[in-house]
Chain A
Amino acid sequence: MLSERELVEGCRNGERACQKALYDRFCKKMMVVCLRYSKSTMEAEDMLQEGFVRVFQGLKGFRHDAKLETWMTRIMVNTALNHHRKKLYLYPMVDIEDLDLLQHEISLSGVQFSQLIEMVQGLPQGCQVVFNLFAIEGYSHKEIAGMLGISEGTSKSQYARARMLLMNRLRNEGMYKPYGEAQV
């Protein structure tokens, strides 16, 4: 089995076998990234395809100062953001009152992966992007604001809304109950 460095080197030389091997190694994880940012499986597949093309084209500049998987995830996220930028103007993000910013402790261990994806995909477009960037990717609201061209306040309010919607959904599905009640 080829090492990551050997795979990268092969891809840089345009060897299709190495490209396929790299794809096979990371496509499943990257598909999850794309599913989180998309509204449907088909849209996620489109993102995955475009993202991998960009990965192969950009590998010449990869300097191994970050983990390959991390670098590829960033490319996928950027590809997804490009998709969203084309549509975000249809869903203008406006500041809303801060909603329920109290910390909640939850457990998702009993929830199936497909249900999680479905919940994230069910969020409004702006909320979905901000939720992924903040909660999963770990960007700050300031960074998200810069990436999406929105204000920091808008990012915060969109995230608060996303969290409220997800909590409601978990509560309705019986997957989350406030303190004092038995968890599912």
Chain B
Amino acid sequence: MAKRRFEDEWKAAFDGAEATPPESVWTGIELDLEKASGAAVRRQLVVYRWLAAASVTLAAGAGSLYFFSLNQPVAPEITNLEPVERITSDDLAKKPTGDFPGRMSNTESLAETQPVMRHNVVEVKKGTTLRSGVNVLVPDREATTREPGLERRQHRTGTSRKMPVLYSFRNPELSFPKTEPVADPGMVLLAKLADEEKAMNKKHDKSRKREQLWTSIGFGAGTFDPNAGTSAGTSSFNATGNSSAGMSYSVGASVGGRMGNRFVLQGGVTYLSQSASYTSSSFSMEATTAVASLDDYIDRQSNLVATSPYEVNSNLQYVSVPVQAGYVLLDRDFAIQLNGGVATDFFIQNTLTPDNDNVAGITQKAGEASPYRSVNFSGIVGTELSYRFGAHYRIAVNPGIRYAFNSIYKPDISREITPVTYDIALRFRYIFN
């Protein structure tokens, strides 16, 4: 009987050996394969769920802001008011005749009050609800029933002339001076404030009209978390996750435009560089050279060899095309804008740099052989704080989050990497008009 080395004999004993598994094993495999394909569909659905959630959040935010901007405090209800005459600037400019105590000799001053009065005057009818701060004109006859002061004055003069009087809720009673015919200082102040407000609105309108179209360049930096997880199976070399958070850099240009009073749309092109460190316990044998590899590649590379753990820096590079909708919360020289959108990321290459002298680095381009998807989709949400420092220039700081909707690995890799990036970008904007 031939005798061999212990190891050779055992190896030979199992060479070509066969054992028939039960039929239930194949049934189980089929079920697992079905589950895996279902999981792929679910991953696609997650993308749409994210998009829907982002849209709802944006719409809810915008809706809330709109609602609160309209929801002003309401004055107590006033009912049973009679129809009134409407005061005009002519009425105010008209010099009162007779011995009406409220006459004003200074028509210039009266004219100054016109904008305020015209602005705040409304006609009211019975049952109408009024807001505070609105001045209401009522006929003097009616006014006497509500204004004791005016009633007293009319009794003294005994006049029956129909002169419009002013009635203002909350404001102190408007009484006309009896002696020196000068303009009411309160009315003058209100008029001045109104003028200032009008001027500011005009200026604001002008500046808003100018910011209809702009372009910007900028760069950003932040943290990059590979956010590793597993899907259907786990890597044979490392089942527990071995990546650590790294850095992300971006530089790009964009174009934006105003789509409405508060909404903007902007898009552009950005170069992205994302780096993270991994602990690998494998390398790939290329001819006679040991080349760095990540354990995650086990499902795609048949030439992986196990080795002692070593550190690998993985640098991913993308060209990203973001499209974002924005809502302008504050539209002044200092502006605040909320942005949300989707970015299409085109994979350029991945460079593995090992921290091991015996293992060579490698750069993998996009393509069939690459374990990375050529196109990825990410959600981007952020805030833009900007300041306008000239007729055509605005500088902005954008803190934001970028979240990958899908794993950057191809579906045949059981490991999932869905990076999350928190970054701050500095942008310089040129305004065309």
Contact = CB atoms under 8 A, between A and B. Distances in A.
A54 B414 contact: yes
Q: Is the interface of A mostly helix, strand, loop or mixed?
A: helix
A78 B237 CA distance: 7
Interface residues of B, number: 55
Interface residues of A, number: 64
Nearest to B369: A63
Contacts of B37: 14
Interface in A15-34: 16, 19-20, 23, 27-29, 31-32
B25 interface: yes
Nearest to B281: A146
Nearest to B12: A108
B96 interface: no
B20 interface: yes
A79 B32 CA distance: 15
Contact of A23 (B6, B12, B29): B29
Interface stretch (B175-183, B264-272, B295-303, B424-432): B295-303
B236 A32 contact: no
Interface string B22-47: 10111011101100110000000000
Most buried by A among B10, B13, B37, B232: B10
Contacts of B234: 82
A127 B360 CA distance: 34
A79 B232 CA distance: 13
Contacts of B17: 29, 32, 113
Contact of B1 (A74, A103, A107): A107
Nearest to A74: B302
B156 interface: no
Contact of A111 (B13, B237, B309): B13
Most buried by B among A19, A61, A116: A61
Contacts of B3: 105-107, 183
Contacts of B21: 27-28, 31, 44-45, 48
A6 B210 CA distance: 65
B91 interface: no
Contacts of A116: 10, 13-14
A79 to B, nearest CB: 7
A174 to B, nearest CB: 14
Contacts of A52: 25, 29
B217 to A, nearest CB: 40
A14 B411 CA distance: 13
A60 B300 contact: yes
Contacts of A113: 13, 17, 19
Nearest to A103: B5
A143 interface: yes
B299 A63 contact: no
Interface string B257-297: 00000000000000000000000010000000000000001
B134 to A, nearest CB: 72
Interface string A134-160: 111011001101110100000000000
Given A20-B26, A54-B233, A143-B307, A61 B301 contact: yes
A172 B350 CA distance: 58
Nearest to B368: A60
Contacts of B14: 32, 36, 116, 136
A107 B4 contact: yes
A145 B25 contact: no
B147 interface: no
Interface in A39-61: 44-45, 48-50, 52-54, 56-61
B7 interface: yes
Nearest to A143: B306
Contacts of B74: none
Contacts of A163: 6
Given A53-B233, A65-B303, A135 B11 contact: yes
B20 A49 contact: no
Contact of A71 (B2, B7, B11, B302): B302
Interface string A98-123: 00000111111111010011000000
B18 interface: yes
B1 A135 contact: no
Contact of B33 (A32, A53, A107, A183): A53
Interface of B: 1-7, 9-14, 16-22, 24-26, 28-30, 32-33, 36-37, 232-234, 236-237, 239, 281, 297-303, 305-309, 369, 371, 410, 412-414
7 contacts: A19-B29, A28-B21, A29-B18, A61-B301, A78-B237, A82-B236, A143-B305
- Minimum-distance CB pairs A-B, first 3: A61-B300, A78-B236, A28-B18
